[in-house]
Amino acid sequence: MANMKDYSNNIIPNWCPGCGHFSIQRALQVAASKLEIPNEKLAIVSGIGCSGRISGYMNSYSFHGIHGRSLPIAQGIKASNRDLTVIAAGGDGDGFAIGLSHTLHAIRRNINMTYIVLNNQIYGLTKGHTSPLSEVGFETKSTPTGSIETPIRPGIVALANGITFLGQGFSGYQEQLVDIIIKAIQHEGFSMVNVFSPCITYNKINTYQWFREHLINLDEEENKKPLNYQEAMNRLIETEGLCTGVIYQDPTSHSYLDKLQPEKKPLSHLNLKIPEEDFNNLINLY
């Protein structure tokens, strides 16, 4: 029986005490332990930012990539090692500014992996400036008189682009977050979990208290049932993206990798120390 502690290493996170990212790391560890994923079958890929550190704190394979590029790396890992559970993790700037095009293409490609967005609506590592998800009027060092740009709503963008699994969580709702991450990992295709994760040092607006007052928890609604595509989009628009739960799941989703021709499967499982004649035959085959 796996334990969540089996998935942490001996590195002490240097996130600020109270940062929402602690809760996300813990939820990921609990989800991995409940699914009993062997450590050597788990790969975490992250981008740049405070969020990017998460890959270094997990007892698994990990890759701390470059800014906005966690998704291409993660998709490549999954395509060539399909028995791995692959998780990409990045901040809102990582996934919805510099890496936005990768996010959109990963969604439409639908490779079987999970993308966790550690969304604090600010760039924390660079000492707190406005991100594409910051609200209008948001004052930071880069927008001292308040942001005048309309924020991106990650859930709406993902759903409009055809995502087959969309979850939204909150660092303050640990139990629900674990449940969403488990379902996301089990989903057949690309799953995104957008997690509202307060930056307690630089974002003095979107605090734990603010989220508790503004988030709609879909799991607590009467007559709760899975939402179809249109209903999910309506809920996201009505709440301006401020809702948590499994927002949408396409039960007919099939991973991109399942659609590949059998002869296109990766070579990683083969022992390539083979006689020259067999090697040449193999090369001719591919």
Q: Choose one: 23-31, 119-127, 171-179, 210-218; the region binding ligand SF4 (CB under 6 A).
A: 119-127
Nearer to ligand SF4, 49 or 155 (CB): 49
User: Distance (Å, rounded) from C-alpha 214 to C-alpha 16?
Assistant: 24
The reply to whether 7 sits near ligand SF4 by the rule CB under 6 A is no
Helix, strand, or coil here: 199? coil
CB 13, min distance to ligand SF4, A: 8
Scanning the structure block, which residue is given the tokens 């890496």?
Answer: 99
The four Cα atoms 176, 134, 25, 200 give a dihedral, to 10 degrees, of: -100
Nearer to ligand SF4, 81 or 174 (CB): 174
Instruction: For residue 58, list its beta bridge partners.
Output: 8
Site string for ligand SF4, 212-251 (x = CB under 6 A): ----------------------------------------
Q: Are 152 and 132 in contact (CB under 8 A)?
A: yes
Q: Are 154 and 228 in contact (CB under 8 A)?
A: no
Q: Which of residues 57-116 bind ligand SF4 (CB under 6 A)?
A: none
User: Distance (Å, rounded) from C-alpha 4 to C-alpha 167?
Assistant: 22
User: Distance (Å, rounded) from C-alpha 2 to C-alpha 92?
Assistant: 31
Site string for ligand SF4, 125-164 (x = CB under 6 A): x---------------------------------------
The reply to whether 199 sits near ligand SF4 by the rule CB under 6 A is yes
Give which of 51, 229, 71, 72 is closest to 156, Cα–Cα: 229
CB 202, min distance to ligand SF4, A: 5
The reply to whether 207 sits near ligand SF4 by the rule CB under 6 A is no
Nearer to ligand SF4, 18 or 266 (CB): 18
Contact pick of 16, 156, 182, 242 for ligand SF4 (by CB under 6 A): 16
Q: Per-residue DSSP letters for 209-234? A: HHHHHH-EEGGGSTT-----HHHHHH
Helix and strand numbers, DSSP H then E, in the chain: 10, 10
Contact pick of 19, 28, 37, 159 for ligand SF4 (by CB under 6 A): 19
Q: Choose one: 15-23, 207-215, 233-241, 259-267; the region binding ligand SF4 (CB under 6 A).
A: 15-23
Residues found near ligand SF4 in the complex (CB under 6 A): 15-16, 19, 21, 50, 120, 124-125, 199-202
